[in-house]
Chains A and B, each alone.
Chain A
Amino acid sequence: MLREREVEKIKAYIRLKWWALLVIFLVVVIETLLRATGLMAMLSTYAGVSLAAAINLILDIQTRRGKYSLSLLYLSLGFDLLIITTVLYFSGGPENSWWFMPVLVIFIAGYIFDQKTALAYALLAFLALSLIFSLEYSKLIPHFSVYAFPASHWMNRVFLTDYALGMLLLYSMGALISGYFNRLTERSADQLEKTLASTLVAKEEAVSSRKALMNVMEDLNKAKDELEIRVRERTAELEDAKANLEKRVAERTADLEKARRAVQHMLKDLKEDMVKLQAIDRMKTEFLSMVSHELRTPLTPIKGYLSLLLKGKMGKFPPKSQKALNVLNMQSTHLHTLIDSMLDISRIELGKPIPTIKESLSIKAIIQEVADAMEILAEEREHHLMVDLSKDLPDITGDVIKLKRVITNLLGNAIKFTKKGGEIKVRAFAENLKIRVEVIDNGIGIAKENIEKVFEKFHQVDSSFTRSAGGIGMGLTLARELVELHGGKLWVESEGLEKGSKFIFTLPVKGGV
């Protein structure tokens, strides 16, 4: 296969030859018209041009068909030389100064093929010239004169030899120069090709990297688009969520506001209720206070007259009446105690002081007196009442009425809250500058959880029991208050229900703490 470059050279050769032939043809035509040349020269030129044209035509056709034949090219170049030689023979032979013409063919050969081929053609041209010159010199072939130079002018061995050698030099130079140019162009062409190849590679690389870059760009664009879509979606979602949230917040706020108002309303109601309750409580206390005062008014003449009757200041009574008077007196005294207790309770409630008298007294005498007075009640319930008082009980400072009331209450409770035939014991003894009084029974007792509750206002251990036993449930509250007024303490001990109770109070001895 021929290389592309060689094909190009062949094509260029063919084109060049056409032009050359055209020029030669025109020159010959002009010469013919001017009758400047000889007949043989003219004919040989036409023939040579025609032949060369024919060969060139064949070459051209072949080339155009894509059949590149180097041998045909060799042949064509050889014919060129032959034609030039022939034409020059018929145009004066050695007379002609155009024997340099073959150098063109040689030049082309060197350009198309290489230096060696060019040199071969140079040798061939030289041989052809030498043959013509030798044959003409030896007169073996006729001489066709064109310029009408005399034979002496050229029929000279030195001239012919010089001419031939000169032409040889010229041909060789042509071959060498063309070959050199060929190599030069080949090399630069190679280089160019290499450069071109590397450029191509670089270009391909550039193209591929550009493609890759484009791909990356495309991917990026795609990713960007996707991202934008997702961002849009997310934004929409977020906006929805935000709207939803706002709605819910508004709803919750409304709910909360409603709840707050309800709570406020309830609070207001509660406050009102509390105020009402406080007012009612205060009214109750004031009522208690008022009632206890009002009850004193009728009680005054009752007690007064009873005293008069009992003392016999208003005549003698039969024994039965006397007994009735005693009951009246005792009950009115009890009524008095209840009224006083009620008043004291109302005083505690209202935060008012309970007036007390401070006088020296014998606790022993008080206990005995109360116990004696309660004896009847104890007997009624078939209780066994024992009084155990230490002989050396010191005197104390206090209010006889109040202390009597405390002991009456404790003993009364013991009698009330013990089943018939119970054991009730009252003990008193001195202990660490204090007098300790104990009221012990084997009655219904107190459940552990109610131990402190018995001292609460209006507390009743058992409401059903209350009805049968009576009482307004403030005795212990008041008793504790009264003991504390005397600087003492009152408490209860019980093992539990049905296990009896032990009420204990202490009082500081006179001069003690």
Chain B
Amino acid sequence: MAKRVLIIEDHPSTSEMLTNVLELEGIEAIAAYDGNSGIEKARSKKPDLILLDIMMPEMGGFEVLQKLKQDPVTSKIPIVIVSVRTEEENIKKGLSLGANEYIPKPFDPFKLVELVKKYLT
């Protein structure tokens, strides 16, 4: 059964690029373009991993992360943050809220896939 990754990212090009990379590796990718729909899809689609952006309109990534971790349905899903914010305080905050990884943008897509695979096995 193919693994499923939810991409919560408001920037369509980035989301699309990520989908491409994941699908090349045989991983199913679902895209959500804002926090609310992200949470909803996380609950309904039950992904094996979530790639989460931080800088999003309306609901920010940290809030989404908090909600996902609070909800028993989604709390077990590993989360990898992918963000333009590279400050240490952001990294610490993300990790303390329950994210498994914090990857700064821009990144090498193949290295990211390697990391994702680690959580899918």
- Give the B-binding residues of A (Cβ under 8 A): 293-294, 296-305, 307-308, 311, 313-314, 336, 343, 352-353, 355
20 A-B contact pairs sorted by A residue (CB < 8 Å): A293-B84, A296-B84, A296-B106, A298-B13, A300-B17, A300-B105, A301-B11, A301-B13, A301-B14, A301-B16, A303-B108, A304-B14, A304-B18, A305-B17, A305-B20, A307-B109, A308-B109, A313-B24, A352-B87, A355-B87
Instruction: Sort chain B's interface into a size bin.
Output: 20 to 34
CB nearest to A302 among chain B residues: B106
Knowing that A308-B21, A308-B24, A355-B86 are A-B contacts, what are 8 other residue pairs whose CB atoms are under 8 Å apart, sorted by A's residue number? A293-B84, A293-B85, A296-B84, A296-B104, A301-B14, A304-B14, A304-B109, A307-B110
Give which listed residue, B17, B24, B106, contacts A336 with CB less than 8 A. B106
Among A293, A308, A336, the residue within 8 A (CB) of B20 is: A308
How far apart sit A294 and B105, CA to CA, in the bound complex (Å)?
11
Of A297, A308, A336, the contact of B14 (CB 8 Å cutoff): A297
Using a CB-CB cutoff of 8 Å, which residues 69-110 of chain B contact chain A?
A: 84-88, 91, 104-110
Bound together, the chains give a CA A75 to CA B104 distance in angstroms of: 175
Is A304 in contact with B107, judged by CB distance below 8 angstroms? Answer: yes
Q: Which residues of A contact B87 (CB under 8 A)?
A: 352, 355
With CB as the reference atom, state the residue of chain A lying closest to B84. A296
Q: How far is the CB of A485 from chain B (nearest CB, A)?
A: 13
CB distance from A49 to the nearest CB of B (A): 169
Cβ proximity bits B13-40 to A, threshold 8 Å, 1 near / 0 not: 1101110110010000000000000000
Q: Give CA–CA (A355, B86) in the complex, Å.
A: 8
A-B pairs with lowest CB-CB distance, top 3: A296-B84, A301-B13, A304-B17
Tell whether, in the assembled complex, residue A304 and residue B21 are in contact, meaning their CB atoms are under 8 Å apart: yes
Given A297-B14, A298-B13, A355-B91, also A303-B24 (CB < 8 A): no
Assuming the contacts A308-B17, A308-B20, asked whether A303 and B106 have C-beta atoms less than 8 A apart, the reply is yes
B residues near A313, Cβ cutoff 8 Å = 24
Which residues on A sit within 8 Å (CB–CB) of B55?
293, 297
Q: Look across to chain A and name the residue whose beta carbon is closest to the beta carbon of B111.
A: A307
Q: How far is the CA of A336 from the CA of B24 in the complex (A)?
A: 25
Using CB atoms, name the residue of chain A closest to B15. A301
- Which B residues are CB-close (under 8 A) to A303? 106-108
B21 near A300: Cβ-Cβ < 8 Å:
no
Closest to A356 in B: B88
Shortest distance between the CB of A337 and any CB in chain B (Å): 11
Complex Cα–Cα for A299 and B109 (A): 12
Residues of B within 8 A of A299 (CB): 105-106
A498: shortest Cβ distance to chain B, in Å?
A: 41
B107 surroundings in chain A (CB, below 8 A) = 300, 303-304
Give chain A residues whose Cβ lies under 8 Å from the Cβ of B105: 296-297, 299-300
Task: Flag if B108 contacts A307 (CB, 8 Å).
Answer: yes
Contacts of B13 in A (CB 8 A): 298, 301
Q: In the docked arrangement, what's the CA distance between A20 and B88, Å?
A: 163
| Known contacts A296-B105, A296-B106, A307-B108; is-contact A301 B17 (Cβ 8 Å) | yes
In the bound complex, what is the Cα–Cα distance between A311 and B110 (angstroms)?
10
Which residues on B sit within 8 Å (CB–CB) of A302?
106
Q: Collect the chain A residues with CB atoms within 8 Å of residue B108's CB.
A: 303, 307
Complex Cα–Cα for A385 and B87 (A): 37
**Measured CA separation A300–B54 after assembly (Å):** 14
Min CB distance A471 to B, Å, is: 22
Bound together, the chains give a CA A336 to CA B107 distance in angstroms of: 10
Chain B residue at minimum C-beta to C-beta distance from A332: B106
Q: Nearest Cβ distance between residue A175 and chain B, in whole angstroms? A: 161
* Residue numbers in A under 8 Å from B106 (CB-CB): 296, 299-300, 302-304, 336
> Nearest-CB distance from A506 to chain B (Å)?
26
Chain B residue nearest in CB terms to A292: B84
| Contact assessment for B109 and A297 in the assembled complex, using a CB-CB cutoff below 8 Å | no
Please name all residues of chain A whose beta carbon is closer than 8 Å to the beta carbon of B109 when the two chains form the complex.
304, 307-308
Q: Please give, as numbers and ranges, the residues of chain B lying within 8 Å of A297 by CB-CB distance.
A: 11, 14, 55, 84, 105
Q: Which residue of B lies closest to A333 (CB)?
A: B106
> Closest residue to B108 on the A side, CB-wise?
A307
Within 8 Å CB of A293, what residues of B?
55, 84-85
A130–B18 alpha-carbon span in the complex (Å) = 202
CA distance A353 to B86 in the complex (A): 11
